[in-house]
A and B are shown apart, each in its own frame.
Chain A
Amino acid sequence: MAGVAVSTTINGDSVEYLCQPDETLLEVLRDRLGLTGAKEGCGTGDCGACSVILDGRLVCSCLVLGAEAEGRQVETVEGMAHGEQLHPLQQKFLEHAALQCGICTPGFLIAAKDLLAKNPSPTEEEIRFGLAGNLCRCTGYDKIVRAVQDAANMMRGA
């Protein structure tokens, strides 16, 4: 099996790695680069815990090959805060207790960031359908939806 040399950008930083052709971006992030914020809940694109943003598109990193990241921009949960300054979504997830166990949280934060980038004033229904690709088994989603609503208000400066 021939390794693939990849140059990419992750959270604004240039990164180079060698990966196997069948290795997923999730495996690269977690096992090669130590970025364990993205989680593997299923490995088949059904839970969203591994969500990252790839060139401005929300994707499951378990359904992207590491080799495909060549020349592209990857955003992960580790890049959401600026130093000590949390992203409004991170802050609102804390304030609303929008997490219990927290395993789905990185995926939700990334998906919500993508959602608000495309729709800064989503309705409750738009939030619910926009986040339907992310499974949470603890919260019943109530507090997640409220946290996203509140973060959207904050980000709009309302």
Chain B
Amino acid sequence: MRYIRPLSIEDAVGTLASSARTAAILAGGSDLLVRMKGGFVEPDLIVDIKAVPGLGDVQETAEGFRIGAAVPSAVLGENTALKKAWPGVVEAARLIGSKQVQGRCTIVGNLCNASPAADSVPAMVAAGAKAVIVGPSGRRTIPVETVPAGPGRTTLAKGEIIEAILLDKRPPHAGDAYLRFIPRTEMDIAVVSAGVNLTLDEKGAVKTARVALGAAAPTVLLVEEAAEVLVGSKLDEATLERLAKVCSGACRPIDDKRGTIEFRRKVAGVLARRAAVTAYQRAGGK
């Protein structure tokens, strides 16, 4: 086993692409080290990307925000502009693990771990976030929902690294929110979760909406029917009821040690409804 710390993204990609055996990318390590400890992975090469310039930064650009792959969640929580623009994404990122884990974990790692229960992913999907991928054949930008292929699997090719997550600049009257259900108040993996992102028109009616559910299917679900329910509404009671119903219906959950199918179905709707109300209020709706 070797540990290397490349100083450029090209170096990192080159090393990963040319590595004959199993290689692992290390940013926050909060998933990788747990898997190594449990004997689930034994990489021959660990590529620590934290020394690559720019990967540890959050940049505010003309188009929005660019969040480097090695930025820990705790840093996102300290970025006032990002929190103001995308409170749902930031609160989701701040729900991953404990304070201790927050100091290390990254939303890119959360995405690439490809767990259907990843906290930041439904929020990012709802936000329409994009992933900037660097690989042997150059750069490409794809919607985050196309990164996970199934539990523990991604669509990334050999040698590819997600360099950054892009979030759009916010128009006026926009808000997002993320809620998850856990049995305790902290430290648990989401049993089921919901992210909602809304923009409103001048009259306070929903103009655009994205609704995503976590731990409700093998990958995060973008529920387009739920968005259609919301668009044009002011989140009246009937709309919220329909939202909950549509979300519950869209779930394809499993029974496991964290929850039952019935529980996940029911609570997915409850959370979507509650998240929608919060997102609406954040967007300035009443």
Chain A residues with a Cβ under 8 A of chain B: 1-2, 4, 20-22, 24, 43-46, 48, 51, 54, 57-60, 62-65, 67-68, 70, 111, 114-115, 129-134
Contacts and interface: CB of A to CB of B under 8 A. Distances in A.
A67 B99 CA distance: 22
B187 A46 contact: yes
Contact of B2 (A2, A64, A70, A132): A2
B103 A59 contact: yes
Contact of B26 (A48, A65, A133): A65
Nearest to A114: B99
Nearest to B30: A63
Contact of B36 (A4, A22, A60, A68): A22
B97 interface: yes
Interface of B: 1-3, 5, 26, 29-30, 33-34, 36-38, 46, 48, 50, 72, 74, 97-101, 103-104, 185-187
Given A21-B2, A65-B33, A68-B26, 20 more contacts: A2-B2, A4-B3, A21-B1, A24-B33, A45-B100, A54-B103, A57-B72, A57-B74, A58-B99, A58-B100, A63-B34, A64-B29, A64-B104, A67-B5, A115-B99, A129-B186, A132-B99, A132-B186, A133-B97, A134-B98
Contacts of B187: 46, 132-133
A1 B185 CA distance: 41
A132 B185 contact: yes
A84 to B, nearest CB: 29
B3 A67 contact: yes
A64 B57 CA distance: 20
Contacts of B2: 2, 21
Give the residue among B36, B37, B74, B103 with the most A Cβ atoms within 10 A.
B103
Given A21-B2, A21-B46, A132-B185, A111 B34 contact: no
A30 B186 CA distance: 28
B29 A22 contact: no
B26 A43 contact: no
A111 B187 CA distance: 15
B97 A57 contact: no
Contacts of A2: 1-2
A24 B50 CA distance: 17
Given A45-B97, A63-B101, A130-B99, A21 B29 contact: no
A142 B151 CA distance: 39
A112 B255 CA distance: 38
A154 B62 CA distance: 46
A129 B103 CA distance: 15
B38 A133 contact: no
Contacts of B50: 68
B38 A111 contact: no
A46 B22 CA distance: 27
A58 B186 CA distance: 17
B99 to A, nearest CB: 5
B100 A59 contact: yes
A46 B86 CA distance: 28
Contact of B98 (A4, A20, A43, A133): A133
